[in-house]
Amino acid sequence: MTFLKINNLSVDYKMRKETVNAAKNINIDIKKGEIVGLVGESGSGKSTVANAIVNLIDEPGKVSSGSILMGETNISGNPETIVQYRGKKIGLIFQDPQTSLNPILTIGEQLIETIQTHLNLSSEDAKNKAINLLKEVGIKDAEKRFYNYPHQFSGGMRQRVVISLALCCEPELLIADEPTTALDVSIQSQILELIKRLTKERNLAVILITHDMGVIAETTDRVAVMKNGDLVEIGLTKQVLVEPKEKYTKSLVSSVPPTNKKISRFTIIEKENVSDQNNNVKILNRWSKKIIVDQNLIEIKNLSKSFDDSFFTENTKNSVMAVDDVSLNIKEGQSFGLVGESGSGKTTIAKMVVNLFKPSSGDIYFDSVNVTKIKKNKDLLKFRKQIQMIFQDPFSSLNGRLKVKEIIAEPIKLHNPDIKSSDLDSYIHDLLESVELTQQSAIRYPHEFSGGQRQRISIARALATQPRLLVCDEPTSALDVSIQAQILNLLKDLQEQLNLTILFISHDLPVVRQMCDKIAVLKDGKLCEVSETEELFKNPKHNYTKELLKLMPKIESIYN
Amino acid sequence: MLQVDNKTLNSWERLRDSDIYFSFIKSPTAIVSSVILLIIFFCSFFVEFVTPHNPFDPASLSLMEAFTPPSWTEDGMAKFILGTDGQGRDMLSTILYGSRISLIVGFSAIIFSLILGVSLGLTAGYFGGKYEMIVMRLTDVQLTVPSILMALLVDGIARGIISREMHDEMAIYVLIFAIGISEWPQFARVSRAATLVEKNKDYVSASSIIGVSNLLIMFKHILPNIMRPILVIGTIGLALAIIAESTLSFLGVGVPPTTPSLGTLIRLGNDFLFSGEWWITFFPAIFLVILAFSINLLGDWMRDTLNPRLKK
Interacting residues of A293 by C-beta distance below 8 A, sequence separation 6+: A332
Cβ–Cβ of A388/B209 closer than 8 Å? yes
Residue pLDDT tens, chain A, 560 long: 788 999 899 998 887 777 888 889 999 999 999 999 999 888 888 888 988 888 888 878 888 888 888 888 888 777 788 888 887 889 888 888 778 889 999 999 999 998 988 888 898 999 999 999 998 888 888 888 999 999 888 888 888 899 999 888 888 999 999 888 878 887 888 889 999 999 999 899 999 999 888 889 989 999 999 998 899 999 999 999 888 998 889 888 888 888 888 887 887 766 655 555 555 566 666 776 666 677 888 999 999 988 765 555 555 555 678 898 999 999 988 999 999 888 788 889 999 999 888 898 999 999 888 988 888 888 888 888 899 999 988 889 999 889 999 999 999 999 888 889 899 999 998 899 888 888 888 888 888 888 889 999 999 999 998 899 999 999 988 888 888 998 999 999 888 888 889 999 998 888 999 999 999 999 988 999 999 999 999 999 999 999 888 888 887 877 76
Q: What is the DSSP letter of B57?
A: -
Residue B2: its pLDDT value, please?
A: 37
pLDDT at B8 over 60: no
With the CA atoms of A442, A448, A451 and A453 taken in that order, what torsion angle do they form, in degrees rounded to the nearest 10? Answer: -30
**Beta-carbon separation of B203 and A396 below 8 A:** yes
Instruction: Write down the pLDDT at residue A273.
Output: 55
Burial (CB count within 10 angstroms: exposed 0-12, middle 13-18, buried 19+), residue A105: middle
Residue A447: its chain B contacts at CB < 8 A? none
Does the distance separating the beta carbons of A400 and B6 come in below 8 Å? Answer: no
Q: Cα–Cα–Cα angle for A137, A138, A142, nearest 5°?
A: 100
Which pLDDT band, with edges at 50, 70 and 90, does B50 fall under? confident
CA pair distance B254, B264, nearest whole angstrom: 8
Q: Is the CB of residue A67 less than 8 Å away from at least one CB of chain B?
A: no
Q: Is the pLDDT assigned to residue B91 strictly greater than 90?
A: no
Q: Which of A381, A399, A465 to mutate to test the interface with B (most CBs of B within 10 A)?
A: A399
Q: Which amino acid belongs to residue A69?
A: L
Mean pLDDT, residues B75-89 taken together: 77
CA distances from residue A451 to A38, A477, B304 in whole angstroms, order as listed = 22, 11, 28
Residue B60 has pLDDT above 80, yes or no: no
β-sheet with A90-93: strand ranges across: A90-93, A173-177, A205-210, A35-40, A222-227, A230-236
- Residue A57: what pLDDT? 84
Yes or no: say if A379 and A386 are a contact pair by the CB < 8 Å rule: no
Please state, as a whole number, how many other Cβ atoms lie within 10 Å of the Cβ of residue A246. 13
pLDDT at B118 > cutoff 60: yes
What per-residue confidence (pLDDT) applies to B243? 92
CA A261 – CA B86 distance, rounded (Å):
96
pLDDT at residue B4 in the model = 43
* Residues pairing with A183 in the sheet: none
pLDDT at B5: 45
Tell me what pLDDT residue B184 has. Answer: 92
Most confident of A21-30, B56-65, B275-284: A21-30
Beta carbons of B2 and A441 less than 8 Å apart: yes
Q: What is the pLDDT of residue B85?
A: 79
For A360-388, b where at least 16 C-beta lie within 10 A, e where not — what string?
bebebbbeeeebbebeeeeeebebbbbbb
Whole-angstrom Cα distance, residue A462 to residue A370? 22
Cβ–Cβ gap B8/A392 under 8 Å = no
- Classify residue A432 as exposed, middle or buried by CB count within 10 Å of its CB (0-12, 13-18, 19+): buried
- Quote the DSSP letter at residue A455: H
> What is the DSSP code (8-state) at residue B84?
B
Q: State how far residue B145 is from chain A, nearest Cα, in angstroms.
A: 29
Using the Cβ of A444 and the Cβ atoms of chain B, whether some distance falls under 8 Å is answered with: yes
Q: How far is it between the farthest Cα atoms of chain A? A: 80
What is the pLDDT at residue A550? 87
With contact defined as beta carbons under 8 Å apart, do A33 and A221 qualify? no
> Please, are residues B86 and B269 in contact by the beta-carbon 8 Å criterion?
no
Q: Indicate the pTM of the whole model.
A: 0.83
State the smallest CA–CA distance between residue B202 and chain A in angstroms.
Answer: 4
For residues A178 and A187, what is the distance between their CA atoms, to the nearest angstrom? Answer: 14
d(CA A351, CA A330): 16
* Contact (CB, 8 A) for A458 and A394: yes
Residues 6+ apart with CB under 8 A from B144: none
Q: Specify whether the CB–CB gap between A484 and A511 falls below 8 A.
A: yes
pLDDT band for B294, please (50, 70, 90 cuts).
Answer: very high
Contact B303, B310 (CB under 8 A): yes
Establish whether the linkage from the previous residue to A60 is cis, with ω within 30° of 0. yes
Identify any residues that bridge with A26 across adjacent strands, giving them in sequence order. A9
Q: How high is the ipTM of this complex?
A: 0.81
For residue B224, the distance in angstroms to the closest alpha carbon of chain A comes to 7
Cα–Cα distance between B177 and B156 in angstroms, integer? 13
Write the residue in B8, B205, B206 that is nearest to A461 by C-beta. B206
Least Cα separation, residue A470 to chain B (angstroms): 11
Contact of A411 with chain B, judged by CB distance below 8 Å, is answered with yes
Could you say which DSSP state residue B220 is in? I
CA dihedral over B179, B182, B184, B189, signed as positive or negative? negative
Question: Is residue B267 within 8 Å of residue B200, measured between CB atoms?
Answer: no
Residue with the bigger pLDDT between B64 and A416: it is A416
Residues 6+ apart with CB under 8 A from B187: B113, B114, B116, B117, B118, B121, B230, B233, B234, B237
Whole-number pLDDT of residue B3: 38
